[in-house]
Structure 1
Amino acid sequence: MRLILGSRSNNRRSRTSSDYQNQPVPLSPNLDAQLAALKERLGASTDFVIHKIMETSDGSCRLAVCFISGLVDQQLVSQFIADANRIAKEMTVHGPLEPRKIKERLTIGGVSPVRDENKLLFQLLDGQIALLAHGSGEALAAAVAGGPRRAVEEPSSQTVIRGPKEGFTEDISTNTALVRRILTTPELRIVTYKIGRYTNTKVSLFYIEGIAKPEVVQEAKARLLSIDADSILESGYIEEYIQDGVRSPFPTMMNTERPDAVAGGLLEGMVAIMVDGTPYVLMAPVTFFRFLTSSEDYYQRYDISSFLRVIRLVAFFLALLLPSLFIAVTTFQQEMLPTTLLITLAAQREGTPLPTLMEGFLMELTFEVIREAGVRMPRAIGPAISIVGALVLGQAAVQAGLVSAAMVIVVSFTAICNFVLPAINMSAAVRLLRFLLMFLAGSFGLFGILAGLVPILAHLSALESFGVPYLAPIAPFTRSNLKDLIVRVPWWKMRTRPAMIGADNRMRQSERQESFAERAKKHRRDPLS
């Protein structure tokens, strides 16, 4: 329901881009009138350039080139204007040319005729250049998009030791090419929408036909088409509009800035959503265990990858439960601690004015403030400030007797475990739930932690991502998907795609595929012989 403010006359929404697109306006044969109309529609903006090619003695224009400065490639614009000048010389000799003949004389490819003023305007705003001739109700538009763009660089938030170093940029055409370069298959489908009344942001849906489930693809298309907003500035906008479990702290969509991660997800049956203007691409459907994996898991040996996944799973539980367990045991269940350790902790807490719960909250909030300060400060001094601030404040708090040394160790190790998680959105969910479990532990001890974990587990069991259960393949249990869960089996044993996500084409390699060592063992010979 919209909130009604002001009088009835003020409630009328101003005409936006989508309103104009739905109302076709034919181009005027009078070139001067048409140029004036385009200039008026753009509010006489200074970046709207009109290059008049043929002007008569009375000041009227016969041929003109229009484009938006900063959105076009200047080299291609110069080539287009040179073609227009050559066409103008022919027109002075042979008279007016038909649009079809003008198109044949242009050396730039991708030229399309335009008869609608609204369509022409939005093509100009999309980085195209237009050639208009007097007496013709048709313009010729060519794609010459350019301008300043960030080069392809190594991803800053998802680094790997072994693997590709290319990362997405803010340009959607560059990002599309990065994915196409990996998936050189005609089955890769790309559907592009323009979302946002004022921004007209390009949003592309990627999937592989025959691997992605048709119902998942249709659901993704329907959710994207249901968005009716003024602006889409980042993929986070799209994520909040179309995700499942909007009130859940756990993410139901993945975001990545790695082209190889997107290609791997598409090969497993996922769909990817790419938004122009951001290097982060969304992927769905996802499960809980997907957030504990990294792209590097598939580039290293399976035993090393499995070991690292186990470490991440342990780090997840420690980041979630370690402070609350420490508070519960030291406050309510002291009998669970060895006598020597209990005496040491009691000696440290002697003279500490705050209870364990408040001590834990104080240290966690202090660390969150230091972390946020390190992120917001200039890159040159941010890490130094965060590290020095944590060391100085922690040491000073212990020496002043405000907190115990054991609590500083617990909070510090919890923060390190939080950084082990590859997905930032999952680590953010852990940070939020940690405070809730700390409060329950400080109020009811271990029973409070259990009372908090049961609703969390029930919530995870009921959560879905585009129709896929969030805890799959554990709940519901799917044995064939366990080969790439916590322990990753060798590549030559992962013959099928995930059952919950992929379509009927589940085979990713031959059923007879095996390693060279296994084949040599069957034939009873040395692999190196």
Structure 2
Amino acid sequence: MNIARWAKRKMRRNSLSGLGSKNSRPANQARAALQAPVTGVPEGTGDPLKWLQTQLATRTDVVVHSFDAGPGVRCTLVFLAGMVSKETVEKQVLIPLVGMDGVGSPEEFIKEILVYKRLPVVQQSVCSSLQEVLRGILAGEAVLFIAGEPRMLTIKAAQYEKRVVQEAPNEAVVRGPREAFIEDLQTNLTLVRRKLKTSALKIEMMSIGKLSQTDVAIVYVEGICDPKLVSEMKRRLSAIDLDIILGSSYLEELIEDNPYSPFPQLQYTERPDVISAAAVEGRVGLIVDGTPIALLAPVNVTMLMQASEDYYQRYISASWIRLIRYTFAFISLLLPSVYVAITTFHPDMIPENLLITVASSREVVPFPALVEAFIMELSFEALREATVRIPKAIGQSVSVIGALIIGTAAVQAGIVSAAMVIIVSMTGIASFIIPHFDLGLAFRFLRFPIMILAGMFGMFGIACGIIIIYLHLTELHSFGYPYMAPFAPLSTASLKDTVIRAPWWKMKLRPPFAKGNRTRQGANPRRWDTGNGGKE
């Protein structure tokens, strides 16, 4: 028996001599961890295990398991049930440690685990701060306490229920990937890494929220993204002083340049391909643990009018769809106001036959056009909000049937005209064409003050409203970058991917906020084409 133990020790010394070479980074890191001083232990704590049990005394899901790992080495494993895989703990932690031979002190025990890799668990480290240990347990780690040793061993064994990767419910495409983010941060980062298989992809982690300690991943491509943009993102995130972060929308409201503007200054997405494409353009992505919605910065108004499917369609089809999208975006903002202005101040602009039809339909309506438009628009907004809150099984039927019944009854009762019902219906349909929900919401909100200006001053009021919105947009910035770029300031090189989408071989440069390598592709991406249609 003594010979066998001597042989095991000899083998471990040999392995240590191999690990101790200059090229052995894991061994050096392990020794540095063993030599690190103990910090973060509150005064008067006494036994760290007892202090931790006091902190977790009210939790019923705490598992505390004590066992002997060898002669004179008493260990205690602490973790939360439901957040740690019991099978992993049993097979990869308890079985290898129980009855470990050749261990005479806690110091040797830790060395056995870190240097000689006695545990098959991939991620394990020595921790000397009780606060970090407590946070690790609450995050799903298992912590090993050794009697007589102030340092603790943290083991990554988190496993909890999570949703499987599914199709994006709010950004569905006809062509393109069907996968979307879920509520698990590591899964989301894996989806992004699969898209960008390069060492230039950088992912930096931060914990935000004094109580929630929510993990936030900052994603960017080194060499393309402006380092000042990354530094500014870190500065704003580190300055957040909030108890809890439950979603990316919390961060959006806290780090945007102008929180009082109705226009969104960060882009959100639930698709990993959008995050990957934006990172290659020099933008920074924020992926928050616990939510499937990621954020992108900086952003301009043209990016919010783009859909991910634009880049999976041929450029002719994508450009045609974008033109329709921009046209109906203006319709959703201005159509009710134009109707109010024309019927109130400029009836001479309407053809005679159409004027007679509109006048006859409004003859029995007791309200002016402005009040009529407000009644219908508010009713439509209420119906749209009710559709969101009603259970899915009956939501669609309520929206369709409710609109038909309310519209027909209102016209028959003489409360509104048939022309106004048509105007409001077209406006509602146009607002759904805007791909970014928050931008569409801003248009829906601004529709009402423009209607008031139209009811008071006619077309002149509409022109004033448009000018005010334009001036606000030109003053708006997203992380210091102009919101109206590339129109104000004008950048002709970036106009190829705005109202229309140029072919891939024409979009050779990245957006202006990309620093360093701005060249997106070679001089001739279609090198096979020699100028005669590909024929040799």
Scaled by the length of structure 2, what TM-score is found? Answer: 0.88
- The Cα offsets for residues 102-128 of structure 1, whole Å up to 9 and x where unpaired, read as 443212121101122111111111111
Match in the other structure for 1:117: 130
8 Å Cα contact 1:51/1:65 also seen in 2: yes
Decide which of 72, 86, 109 is 1:98's aligned counterpart. 109
Aligned residue identity for 1:24: G
Percent sequence identity is 43
Post-superposition offset of 1:216: 1.2
SS at match of 2:393: coil
- The Cα offsets for residues 305-332 of structure 1, whole Å up to 9 and x where unpaired, read as 0001101100110000000001100111
- The Cα offsets for residues 162-187 of structure 1, whole Å up to 9 and x where unpaired, read as 11010000111111111011011101
Post-superposition offset of 1:74: 3.1
SS at match of 1:49: strand
Match in the other structure for 2:25: none
Post-superposition offset of 1:495: 1.1
Match in the other structure for 2:18: none
Match in the other structure for 2:40: 24
Post-superposition offset of 1:92: 10
Match in the other structure for 2:217: 204
- The Cα offsets for residues 429-461 of structure 1, whole Å up to 9 and x where unpaired, read as 001000111111111111111111111110111
Match in the other structure for 1:393: 406
- The Cα offsets for residues 148-167 of structure 1, whole Å up to 9 and x where unpaired, read as 10111111111111110100
8 Å Cα contact 2:137/2:143 also seen in 1: yes
SS at match of 2:183: coil
- The Cα offsets for residues 320-373 of structure 1, whole Å up to 9 and x where unpaired, read as 000000110011100000010000001111111111111111111111111111
8 Å Cα contact 2:40/2:128 also seen in 1: no
**CA distance in 1 between partners of 2:119 and 2:43 (Å):** 21
CA RMSD of aligned residues (A): 2.1
Post-superposition offset of 1:273: 0.9
**CA distance in 1 between partners of 2:449 and 2:373 (Å):** 12
Q: Which moved more, 1:37-46 or 1:397-406?
A: 37-46
Match in the other structure for 2:270: 257
Q: What are the ranges of 5 or more consecutive residues in structure 2 without an aligned counterpart?
A: 1-38
Scaled by the length of structure 1, what TM-score is found? Answer: 0.90
Aligned residue identity for 1:250: F
Q: What are the ranges of 5 or more consecutive residues in structure 1 without an aligned counterpart?
A: 1-22
Decide which of 501, 525, 534 is 1:488's aligned counterpart. 501
8 Å Cα contact 2:220/2:285 also seen in 1: yes
Alignment of 1:332-411 (within 5 A): 332-411=345-424
- CA gap 1:285/1:130 in 2 versus in 1, 3 angstroms: same
**CA distance in 2 between partners of 1:315 and 1:377 (Å):** 28
Match in the other structure for 1:305: 318
**CA distance in 2 between partners of 1:55 and 1:472 (Å):** 64
Match in the other structure for 2:121: 108
Instruction: Extract structure 1 runs of 4+ deviating beyond 6 A.
Output: 26-30, 91-95
**CA distance in 1 between partners of 2:242 and 2:448 (Å):** 34
- The Cα offsets for residues 162-214 of structure 1, whole Å up to 9 and x where unpaired, read as 11010000111111111011011101111111011100001111111111112
Post-superposition offset of 1:49: 0.9
**CA distance in 1 between partners of 2:446 and 2:473 (Å):** 13
**CA distance in 2 between partners of 1:243 and 1:94 (Å):** 57
Post-superposition offset of 1:91: 6.2
Q: How many residues align?
A: 494
Post-superposition offset of 1:75: 2.6
Match in the other structure for 1:290: 303
- CA gap 1:182/1:153 in 2 versus in 1, 3 angstroms: same
- CA gap 1:115/1:28 in 2 versus in 1, 3 angstroms: farther
Match in the other structure for 2:56: 42
- The Cα offsets for residues 355-407 of structure 1, whole Å up to 9 and x where unpaired, read as 11111111111111111111011111111111111111111111111111110
**CA distance in 2 between partners of 1:328 and 1:388 (Å):** 31
Match in the other structure for 2:492: 479
